[in-house]
Structure 1
Amino acid sequence: MVMDKAGNEVGTMAHWKEYGDSLVPPILQTALTCFVENGYHGTTTRQLAAAAGLSVPGLYHHFASKQAMLVSLMEIAMADLYRRSMAALEEAGESVEARFRSIIECFVLFHAYRGELAFISASEIRALEPEARARHIASRDRQQRVLEEIVEEGVRVGYFRTESPRDASRAVITMCTGVSQWYRPGGQLSPAVLAEEYVLLTQRALGREGSQSA
Structure 2
Amino acid sequence: MARQTSRAKQPNRMRREETPLGFEPDPGADWRHFEELSLSPFLEAALEEFGAHGYHGGSVRAIANRVGVTLPTLYYHHGSKQDLLVTLLMGSMHDILVRCQHALDEAGERPEDQVANIVECFTLYMTHRRRLAFLDAEVRNLEPENRERYLSHRDELAVMLRRAALDGIEEGVFTTPYPVETVRAILSMCQAVAVWYRPEGPLSEAEVARRYIQIALDSMAFRRHGKKVTTP
Following superposition of structure 1 onto structure 2, how do residues 30-109 of structure 1 map, counting pairs within 5 Å?
30-109=45-124
Aligned pair count reads 210
Counterpart of 1:13, as a letter, is D
Which residue identity lines up with residue 195 of structure 1 in the other structure? Answer: A
TM-score, length of structure 2 as denominator length: 0.86
Q: Which residue of 2 aligns with 1:110?
A: 125
Structure 2 partner of 1:139: 153
Q: Point out where structure 1 has 5 or more consecutive residues left out of the alignment.
A: none
Give the aligned partner of residue 12 of structure 1: 25
Q: CA deviation at 1:23?
A: 5.4
Distance 1:156 1:52 in 2: 54
1:163 and 2:177 are equivalent in the alignment: yes
User: Is this contact kept in 2: 1:78–1:140, CA < 8 A?
Assistant: yes
Q: What amino acid does structure 1 have at the position aligned with 2:69?
A: L
Contact 1:24/1:73, CA 8 A, preserved across alignment: no
Q: Distance in 2 between matches of 1:57 and 1:192?
A: 43
Change (3 A) 1:128 1:212: same
For 1:130-176, what per-residue CA distance to the aligned partner results, in whole angstroms no more than 9, with x for missing partners?
Answer: 11011011011112111111111111111111111111100000000
Letter in 2 for 1:75: M
* Percent of aligned positions that are identical: 35
TM-score relative to the length of structure 1: 0.93
2:144 to 130, 140, 147: 130
CA offsets, 1:10-52, max 9 Å, x none?
3323321010111532220111111111100000111111111
Distance, in Å, in 2 between the alignment partners of 1:85 and 1:26 is 27
Q: What RMSD over aligned residues (CA atoms) do the two structures have, in Å?
A: 1.6
* CA deviation after TM superposition for structure 1 residue 5, in Å: 4.7
- Aligned partner of 2:8 in structure 1 is none
Counterpart Cα distance in 1 of 2:112 and 2:217:
9
5+ residue gaps in structure 2?
1-12
* Corresponding position: 1:202 with 2:211: no
Aligned to 1:213: 231
Displacement of 1:198 after TM fit?
Answer: 0.3
Distance in 1 between the 2:176 and 2:16 partners?
42
Residue 39 of structure 1 aligns to a residue in which SS?
helix
User: Equivalent residue for 2:167?
Assistant: 153
| Rg larger for | 2
- 2:69 is paired with a residue whose SS is coil
**Counterpart Cα distance in 2 of 1:147 and 1:107:** 11
